[in-house]
Amino acid sequence: MFLFEGERYTVGLWDLIWGWLTDPSPKAGHGAPAPDGGHTATMTDDAPEENADEAAGEPPWYRPSDAVYTTLYDYPRPTLSSEALALENALAHQLDGHDLTLPPLPRVAEKVLKDLRSRKSSFNLIARHVAEDQVIAGAVLRMANSPLYRGRDKIQSLQPAVVRLGTNSIKTLMMHQSLRAVSAGFKGRTAHYAAAVWLNSQASAFVMRQLAPLRGIDVDDAFMIGLLHDIGNVVVLRQAAQHTQIADLQISQEEFDYICHECHQEFGELIADAWALPEHLKTIISTHHTYPEPDNPLRTEILLIHACDMICALLGYGPPQPYDLLESRAVADLGLDDNRDFLDVLDVLPGEVDDLLDAL
């Protein structure tokens, strides 16, 4: 994961989006992008087509002048310091099944998600469980009263708020709050890494949500995929925090990024099992860095993740790499390389991201 400078990035992007949506004053704003990549990188020799920005002497952000990569960057193994090697060995020990403690699903979120899976569930029961956690209850009310859902009257109680949102949005909100909970509470240097992991997950979720309609993917499902596909990084954070309790953790950003990339899919799969996530989401979490074969039933979703991670890197919400997005393999296989709607999304995305972050 990429470490962002400045304490302002510790605020959750999703909370910022809600604040912006519920503010009646007009302003430009939207969401953002994020995480790391992985897979073999290739070079592109074709010259980009000229557009308005290039005619003005500036290439578009998604085709930088130094663009060379058309697949996700494959992290080479750096020379690891003794502390980084100790962290890596501790994580390998956990993957072998020794002393592995996974982050638990928060109690209220676990109840609500169980309710949503039950045929005997009701909105009234869900509302009663939501009421047990003030933070989650407040998030439900804010979301129900945002312009995305707001009706004629403002909702002030949970049961009608849950009804207005519906099961899909409630499910997405529960997973968001769960990731927020397990990404919080870190101290020292680890807190900076945790803030970056948290922000990257929010940004990736938003970008996936923006891309989903272009290929007929449900926007709530896409948001969930973007939010959780790198959730295995939380295990790296927890192990790093244990090391920090013994001595101040001194590893470089490059080392931390590499260790996250090295093992987050395996740990993500374990968390998916522990949290009883849907099978398709578990598969995506555990395999998303492998380029999907044509017969893969989740091919479109995984290709969108590849495009999303490239976008995030180009916009600075992940380790920066010089991708040529329109020449990339994933974008071509998605049929978006000459899609006008896709270009329209790309054209406004940087300004949308900047507007949101400037509001922090």
Which pLDDT tens digit goes with each residue over 219-265?
Answer: 889 989 999 999 999 988 888 887 765 556 678 888 888 999 999 99
CA dihedral 53, 54, 56, 61 (to 10 degrees): 40
Q: How is residue 10 written in tokens?
A: 């510790």
Range of the domain at 281: 7-99+190-358
Which range of 11-20, 89-98, 150-159 scores highest in mean pLDDT? It is 150-159
Task: Tell me, yes or no, whether 195 lies in a domain.
Answer: yes
Task: Tell me, yes or no, whether 106 lies in a domain.
Answer: no
Tens of pLDDT, residue by residue over 308-347, are: 999 988 988 877 889 999 999 999 999 999 999 999 999 9
φ and ψ at 358, to 5 degrees? -65, -25
19 Cβ contact list (under 8 Å, min separation 6): 359
Tens of pLDDT, residue by residue over 60-74, are: 999 999 999 999 988
φ and ψ at 330, to 5 degrees? -65, -45
Instruction: Give the per-residue SS3 of 274-318.
Output: HCCCCHHHHHHHHHCCCCCCCCCCCHHHHHHHHHHHHHHHHHCCC
The pLDDT of residue 29 is above 50? no
What CATH number should be reported for the domain holding residue 346? 1.10.3210
pLDDT at 306: 97
Task: Tell me, yes or no, whether 74 lies in a domain.
Answer: yes
Q: Which residue has the tokens 């393999």?
A: 329
The pLDDT of residue 151 is above 80? no
- What's the whole-model pTM score? 0.78
pLDDT at 99: 62
Task: Tell me, yes or no, whether 16 lies in a domain.
Answer: yes
Task: Tell me, yes or no, whether 120 lies in a domain.
Answer: no
pLDDT at 334: 97
29-43, 134-148, 321-335: least confidently modelled range: 29-43
102 Cβ contact list (under 8 Å, min separation 6): 235, 270, 271, 274
Task: Tell me, yes or no, whether 212 lies in a domain.
Answer: yes
Task: Tell me, yes or no, whether 243 lies in a domain.
Answer: yes
Q: How is residue 227 written in tokens?
A: 């939010």
- Looking at every residue in the chain, the average pLDDT score rounds to 80
Task: Tell me, yes or no, whether 130 lies in a domain.
Answer: no
Count of domains in the chain? 1
φ and ψ at 69, to 5 degrees? -100, 135
Q: Is 62 in contact with 315 (CB distance < 8 Å)? A: no
Q: What pLDDT band is residue 51 in, cutting at 50, 70 and 90?
A: low
DSSP type of residue 66: T
